[in-house]
Amino acid sequence: MAREISLKTIDDRFRQKIKEISGQNFQQCFQCGTCSGSCPMTEHLDLMPRQVMALIQFGQADALDVAKTPFVCASCHTCMVRCPRGLDLTKIMEAVRLVKLRRNVNEIEPSNLQPEDVTEMPQVAMVSGFRKLTS
């Protein structure tokens, strides 16, 4: 769907926040799509990583607030290794996640986990999952 990009819809505070948390200059992204082509989770994303980058560049905070992609990202760092602009996209995805999680919003509810999963899963799954997906 077409989005209106104008001074009215650009959220500059959001852009500053992403820059502060990630330490990355996302304006360097030139939309080549290498990240999208490298992501192992591509078929499960609602926005390609390239599109996430474009939405950040234009400060489209509302679109990113409802996006699934940052929460499907597994922080595997493949995009970061391959980005021709040297951007660390994993840090940018983390920043988008944190903008939401820091409002005390959980992506997954630990209390909803199935008891058999809790019994079976290794600690490293739970610790990393809670770190990435809960507030």
Partner 1 sequence: MKIAYYPGCTLKTKGKSLETSALACMGQLGIEAEELERWNCCGAVYSLADDDLIHIVAPVRDLIRVKQAGHDKVITLCSMCYNTLARANELMRHDEEKRKTINDFMDEEPDYTGDVQVLHFLDFLRDEIGWDKVKEKVTKPLSGMKVAPYYGCTLLRPKEVAIDRADQPEVMHSFLETLGAEVVDFPGAIQCCGTYQVLGNPDAALKVSHDILSDATSHGAEALALTCPLCDYNMSKRQDQMLQKYEGAREVPIYYFTQLMAIAMGIPVEECHFELNRESSVQLLKSKNLVTG
> Which tokens in the block code for residue 108?
């997954």
Stretch that binds partner 1, among 7-15, 21-29, 47-55, 58-66 (CB under 8 A): 21-29
Is there binding between residue 40 and partner 1 (CB under 8 A)?
Answer: yes
Distance between first and last Cα of the chain: 30
The least CB distance from residue 47 to partner 1, in Å, is 15
- Among the listed residues 32, 76, 105, 135, the single contact to partner 1 using CB under 8 A: 76
Q: What's the rounded Cα separation, in Å, for the pair 128 and 79? A: 20
Between 48 and 74, CB nearer to partner 1: 74
Residues 72, 48: Cα–Cα separation, whole Å: 11
* Cβ–Cβ < 8 Å for 91, 23: yes
66 binds partner 1 (CB under 8 A): no
What CA–CA distance (Å, rounded) separates 127 from 58?
Answer: 34
Q: How far is the CB of 72 from partner 1 (least distance, A)?
A: 5
Write the DSSP string, 18-36.
HHHHH---GGG-----HHH
The answer to whether residue 125 forms part of the interface with partner 1 (CB under 8 A) is: yes
Contact set with partner 1 (CB under 8 A): 20-23, 40-41, 43-44, 71-72, 74-78, 80-81, 88, 90-91, 94-95, 98, 107-108, 113, 120-133
